């Protein structure tokens, strides 16, 4: 890609920018943040690593949203981060206001872009952006399952002693306490993990995966995770930039898949140059289906909790023509 914009130059945004630059997944990275001088400082700091890592990707930061103009992909990491003891739902009320403003900037200055939502609660905010833009669902998606699957794979590697490179995992549902690690499809070089681990140990890893973000927050105390989230975002950007058609679990707006509509949550998706190419529907067993429905109910509750006075304009799947000149 030629240009990628990152909205939010905090730790996740900065880590993402560093990885994108090192991997040269685009020619230009634009960092936008409302904090005075911060995005400029982040861009300059990353630029000065170029001689060490051997890249020549251009980076620029600004407090002016027009910096995102003509971006092909906009990554949204802006919002209130979680503090110890807070759930992702706790930050919804504040972050939906941020997301609405960010979405309007994107519609004005990058109306042809794809949007990748990272801010939490990511399922609800991805749905919010899809509603507010009215864009086709392939262009608006969220990051969650890639990170959750990576966490689960790392826990399995620690537990079994096998290389993380040989471990494949899949996590569906909402990004939080009700996420659904589908252990039946988790393998070590193609062999089901049940061959190596007892059901009790697998359940313990599932529980740890669900609390993976909270565990890091409790240990860091003054920061949420940012290294693994940045790497997860970069993996998704790589799939788009190189049209890899990778099968990744992403937050997508559902149009009847898995029996759900008017909701966004994590499902297996084919990701390529236009964003979400298609959604893969797995045949879930009774327990997996029940867990997925429970997760969907939690996400839908968050969506319905949005203040009636903050209803987004426009209707879902109805294209809104943005005035790129404003």
- Residues belonging to the active site: 175
CA separation for the pair 41, 252 (Å, rounded): 33
Q: Residue 180 corresponds to which tokens in the numbers above?
A: 């659904």
Q: Please give the DSSP secondary-structure letter assigned to residue 119.
A: S
Q: How buried is residue 326: exposed, middle or buried, by Cβ count under 10 Å (0-12/13-18/19+)?
A: exposed
Contact by Cβ (8 Å): 88, 82: yes
Q: Residue 85 corresponds to which tokens in the numbers above?
A: 């003891």
CA separation for the pair 180, 174 (Å, rounded): 8
Residue with tokens 């930061």: 61
Bond from prior residue into 121 cis (ω within 30 degrees of 0) = yes
Torsion of CA 8, 298, 131, 61, to 10 degrees: 0
Distance of CA 208 to the CA centre of its chain: 20
Q: Residue 135 corresponds to which tokens in the numbers above?
A: 């864009």
At residue 90, the 3 state secondary structure works out as helix
CA separation for the pair 308, 166 (Å, rounded): 47
Q: What is the C-alpha end-to-end distance of the chain, expressed in Å?
A: 25
Count other Cβ atoms within 10 Å, centred on residue 250: 29
């Amino acid at each position: 890609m030629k240009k990628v914009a990152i909205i939010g130059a905090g730790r996740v945004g900065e880590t993402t920018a560093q990885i994108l630059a090192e991997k040269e997944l685009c020619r230009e990275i634009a960092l936008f943040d409302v904090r005075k001088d911060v995005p400029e400082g982040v861009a300059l700091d990353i630029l000065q690593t170029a001689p060490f890592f051997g890249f020549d990707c251009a980076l620029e930061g600004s407090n002016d949203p027009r910096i995102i103009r003509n971006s092909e992909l906009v990554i949204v990491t802006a919002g209130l981060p979680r503090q110890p003891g807070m759930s992702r739902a706790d930050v919804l009320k504040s972050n939906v206001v941020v997301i609405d403003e960010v979405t309007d900037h994107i519609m004005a200055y990058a109306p042809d872009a794809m949007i990748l939502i990272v801010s939490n609660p990511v399922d609800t905010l991805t749905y919010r952006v899809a509603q507010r833009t009215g864009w086709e669902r392939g262009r608006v998606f969220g990051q969650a399952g890639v990170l959750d699957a990576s966490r689960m794979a790392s826990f399995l590697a620690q537990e079994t002693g096998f290389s993380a490179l040989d471990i494949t995992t899949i996590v569906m549902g909402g990004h939080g306490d009700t996420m659904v690690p589908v252990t039946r499809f988790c393998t070590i070089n193609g062999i089901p993990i049940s061959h190596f681990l007892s059901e009790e140990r697998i359940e313990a890893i599932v529980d740890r995966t669900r609390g993976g973000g909270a565990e890091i927050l409790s240990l860091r105390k003054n920061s949420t995770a940012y290294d693994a989230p940045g790497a997860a975002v970069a993996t998704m950007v790589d799939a788009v930039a190189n049209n890899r058609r990778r099968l990744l679990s992403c937050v997508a707006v559902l149009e009847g898949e898995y029996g759900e509509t008017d909701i966004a949550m994590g499902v297996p998706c084919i990701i390529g140059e236009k964003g979400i190419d298609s959604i893969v529907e797995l045949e879930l067993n009774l327990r997996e289906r029940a867990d997925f429905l429970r997760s969907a109910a939690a996400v839908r509750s968050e969506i319905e909790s949005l203040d009636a006075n903050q209803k987004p304009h426009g209707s879902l799947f109805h294209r809104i023509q943005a005035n790129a000149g404003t």
